[in-house]
Amino acid sequence: MEFMLDTANIPAIKRYVDTLPVSGVTSNPSIIKKEGSIDFFKHMREIREVIGAERSLHVQVVADDYDGMMADADAIVNHIDERVYIKVPVTEAGLKVIKSLKAKGRNVTATAIYTKFQAYLAIAAGADYIAPYFNRMENLNIDPTDAIREMVNEIRRTGSSTKVLAASFKNVGQVNAALECGAQAATLGTDIFDQAFAMPSVSKAVSDFTKDWESVFSAGVTIA
């Protein structure tokens, strides 16, 4: 199971890489917009420094035509590093880009996936990860759980090494559902992790344990 951070915010990345089992960082142009007017490549290199070589960094192209996306991909690799996963939307032009990038030995994450068929094409084109957009699918009355289950089945049927990197979550229940359908990875905004830990019953359980302990051994005395 891989958990990734769907953010480009460096303090948040530092915090969660330190505390949680994070295996990578993903972003898209809308996520980059939240960081304001940054020096894009410098910022991405800083993220790489924070996460190290062992975690994956997924950076999206901005152009929407073949030549433009290929130029974006070259710039991403040249200005960040060769380990980067280049995020490419699964359009007709995007599929051509995915095939070309894989032929060049690049790492590719196929993104903006709303349908099984987009996923099947991206798997056939050799994408390393495919990113179905869970919440956006739900908003369109497309069942993301059925779609993810079938994407995982397609990977099995074809013996492909592609992994499902479920994305676009608005709550923890959606993440659980994606993982339980077989998604090998999920990328989460920091708001989802915050939601997950903001459970009054968990905080109460921990503080009750402390109170019970201290009622016997006095306040401030710990096991160590």
Q: Return residues touching ligand E4P (CB under 6 A).
A: 6, 26, 28, 30, 111, 131, 133, 135-136, 167-168, 187
Burial 11-47 (b: 16+ CB within 10 A, else e): ebbeebbeeeebbbbbbbeebbeeeeeeebeebbebb
Select 135 or 160, whichever has its Cβ closest to ligand E4P: 135
The nearest distance, CB 223 to ligand E4P, in angstroms, is 41
Select 12 or 213, whichever has its Cβ closest to ligand E4P: 12
Q: Please count the residues of the chain.
A: 224
The nearest distance, CB 28 to ligand E4P, in angstroms, is 4
Select 93 or 175, whichever has its Cβ closest to ligand E4P: 175
- 10 Å Cβ neighbour count for 8? 23
Select 99 or 136, whichever has its Cβ closest to ligand E4P: 136
* Element of type H or E holding 102: helix 92-103
State the maximum Cα–Cα separation within the chain, in Å, rounded to a whole number.
71
SS3 assignment, position 58: strand
Residues 6+ apart with CB under 8 A from 191: none
Residues 6+ apart with CB under 8 A from 29: 60, 62
- Could you say which of 87, 96, 99, 204 is catalytic? 87
Catalytic residue check, 99: no
List the catalytic residues: 87
